[in-house]
Structure 1
Amino acid sequence: MSILVRAAEREDVPALVRLRLANAERHVQLDPVIYRVPDIETVRGHFEETLSAESKVLSAESKVVILVAEAAGEVVGMVEVVLLTDPPDHQILIPRRAAEIHTVVLDGQRGQGVGAALVMAAEQAAAERGVSILYAGIFAPNKEAVRFYSSAGFGPRGILLSKEQGAPSAS
């Protein structure tokens, strides 16, 4: 199968919305306490804003890069590279440009190289923006994602601990 990875365009918004919602539904099945299906109009608005003409003018400064994978002329996957803010000078971390990566491939297209092609293209796009560290945040229940990103060379980098807070008490 021939896979073309390219920058997402405004015409791709319906496909991007479909991918985001399919991914959300799949994740809700993994753990409905952690994941949700976002509002379709909010998702559409995010992609429309990110891919608007104004955003393209600022693309060198854009905080989000979206790439799509096409197979047989159909969008079958996407990857978002979300640039993170550099640590402030007062912190002890060595300043390194970092980004989060979020990859989605349609169920029927998995295992055919689509995800790998998207990750390679995302790594290139990130490097062009001076990114030296890519993070793939995966919650423990998603073993498939852990396997996928591990096969692409991602590995543990420290430990992220979390604690759920109760709602603030009313005084």
Structure 2
Amino acid sequence: MTTETEFNLALLTLEDAKALNTLFKGNKDIFKTYFPETFKKTKTIKASKAYIEEAIALSEAKKSFHFALNTTIHPEMAGLVILKEIDSEKAEGEFAYCLDKRFHGRGWITQAVERVSDFGYINHQISTFKIITHSSNEKCISVAQRSGFIWHSTLENEFKPARGKAKDMELYILKK
């Protein structure tokens, strides 16, 4: 596992549009399947700007927070971490994240999830966090477990990938 100084997290800004577009283009095979809506919204730099404008508005409304995970040595966007589906009455939110395949296995997403859950708890009083993943996604399950999430239940037909049948998904929960 690497140290936290090899990446930083910051809320998306309009200046991130080209980097976001590059991230999704460079990982289109996997992102197109598992992040179909975000993939569609980042196909061009102009579309990425519109996506970021929407993300900024959602942040201002405290509905979701979109963080760019950027490398620090040779600055580039390596991933995206989103705290979404925020319900302030229930004090809960859900994670979504993706990472450029070139940066897998470094522990960055686990660290980012921990940092963003602290952000949600401290700044927005979110006390219940969710990660929803397919049972075959061992890396995502590992991130959930290393971040303190506990398996809760199976959600039947929860996710419809861009290609294929609806899939059951596993719900992991972290309570702070």
Normalising by structure 2, we get a TM-score of 0.67
Distance 1:83 1:107 in 2: 26
User: Does the Cα contact within 8 Å between 2:12 and 2:55 map onto a contact in 1?
Assistant: no
Rate the CA distance shift 1:62–1:18 in 2: closer, same or farther, 3 A: farther
Match of 1:74 among 61, 73, 76: 76
- Displacement, 1:125? 2.1
Cα deviation for residue 132 of structure 1 reads 0.9
Give the C-alpha shift of residue 79 in structure 1. 0.3
Give, in angstroms, the shift of residue 43 of structure 1.
Answer: 6.0
**Percent identity over paired residues:** 14
User: Do 1:103 and 1:118's aligned partners in 2 also have CA atoms closer than 8 Å?
Assistant: no
In the TM superposition, residue 27 of structure 1 has moved relative to its aligned partner by: 5.5
Local SS of the residue matching 1:156: strand
Matches within 5 A, 1:31-50: 36=36, 38-39=39-40, 40=43, 44=48, 45-50=50-55
Q: Which runs of 5+ in 2 are unaligned?
A: 160-176
Matched residue type, 1:159: T
Q: 1:18: Cα distance to partner?
A: 3.6
> Structure 1 residue 105 and structure 2 residue 99: aligned?
yes
Structure-2 residue corresponding to 1:13: 17
Would the aligned equivalents of 1:81 and 1:102 in 2 still touch at CA under 8 Å? yes
Higher helix share: 2
Q: Which has the larger radius of gyration?
A: 1
Question: C-alpha distance in 2, partners of 1:142/1:104?
Answer: 12
Structure 1 spans left out of the alignment, 5+ residues: 87-94, 165-171
User: 1:24-35, aligned counterparts within 5 Å?
Assistant: 25-26=29-30
Q: Considering only aligned residues, what root-mean-square deviation do their CA atoms show, in Å?
A: 3.0
The structure that is strand-richer by fraction is 2
How many residues are matched?
147
> How do 1:1-171 and structure 2 match up within 5 A?
2-20=6-24, 25-26=29-30, 36=36, 38-39=39-40, 40=43, 44=48, 45-51=50-56, 55=57, 59=60, 61-71=61-71, 72=73, 73-85=75-87, 96-127=90-121, 128-162=123-157
In the TM superposition, what is the alpha-carbon distance from 1:68 to its structure 2 partner? 1.7
User: How far, CA to CA, are the matches of 2:120 and 2:83 in structure 1?
Assistant: 7
Letter in 2 for 1:154: F
TM-score w.r.t. length of structure 1? 0.69
